[in-house]
Amino acid sequence: MLKYKWCVCDMDGTLLNSDDVISKGNEMALKKLQQNGVEVIIASGRVDLMLKPFIKQLDLKGYVISCNGGLIRNIETGEILYSKVMDKISVSEIISYCMEYNIDFLIYTTNVVLSTPNNPRAAKFENLNRDLPKNLQVPIKYIDNRIIESINEINAIKILLVCSDHEQVKSLEKHFSNYDNLTALSSMSGLLDIMASNISKGKALKILSKKLDVDLNKVIAFGDNYNDIEMFQCVGMPIAMGNSVEALKLQAKYITRSNDESGIAYAINNFI
């Protein structure tokens, strides 16, 4: 166990179960790792503003990787180690396209999440906010004409498109992949992530490992989807969830149980 320095966890479909909860088994296993000197790091497609309750639950320190690697921030100080903002013309074009075709979206920035009105994805976080203290709530603003007019003042790190089905995800991924300055990929069923070009969790891990002088061969990573592939390719111990897409399972050293079966705890107790 002690040969590993970090344990990096994706969130949706990995650390979180289908109810968006960290199971008691996963919590205990990750806290045991920390007690044994292994730092636990979240690497999520979500912006870190959405991760505060989970960071608190696991009592994490150090850095969090969010927006698929577009943002690395120090949990305790709030200092941004790395961020890559999307091109403002591209952001404007994405928003115009989504509004023309009635596609809901969220815009992730370093201090607020912007959402289309009546967005089911935003409603999910609004519901969660009701049960959280103010300091752990997700700051959400709904887009109106005033925000649209000032869109060039917004520093978007990621835009999340909420799609009707898998076919729409693939169609939109193809459309936005034609932009040289954008990265578009699926992170969860029915969702498409759009970031600046050359963004990935793997690149973020390399930046962080260089900053903190950590050998990536001494890193465990858990994931389940396409946005975890580059992360798996650069760490010594990539472990795919049982519910992972096949493309990620091909990159894994082990395949654990699903996110609804506390797959992280199972892997820590049986493989690590």
The 10s digit of each residue's pLDDT in 71-82 is: 999 999 999 999
Question: In this structure, is residue 1 part of a structural domain?
Answer: no
For 133-156, write each residue's pLDDT tens digit.
Answer: 999 999 999 988 766 667 778 899
Partners of 240 in beta bridges: 223, 255
Residue 184 one-letter amino acid: A
Please give the model's pTM, rounded to 2 decimal places.
0.94
Of the chain, the percentage scoring pLDDT greater than 70 comes to 97
Higher model confidence: residue 2 or residue 33?
33
The C-alpha atoms of residue 126 and residue 78 are separated, in whole angstroms, by: 23
Two structure tokens written together for 95: 């928003």
Question: In this structure, is residue 248 part of a structural domain?
Answer: yes
The torsion region of residue 198 among left (phi > 0), alpha (psi -120 to 50) and beta comes to left
Given 143, 173, 196, the domain boundary residue is 196
Q: Domain residues for 118?
A: 88-196
Residue 2 has pLDDT above 90, yes or no: no
Are residues 96 and 189 located together in one domain of the fold? yes
For 85-104, write each residue's pLDDT tens digit.
Answer: 999 999 999 999 999 999 99
Please, which pLDDT band fits residue 105 given cuts at 50, 70 and 90? very high
Two structure tokens written together for 126: 């609004």
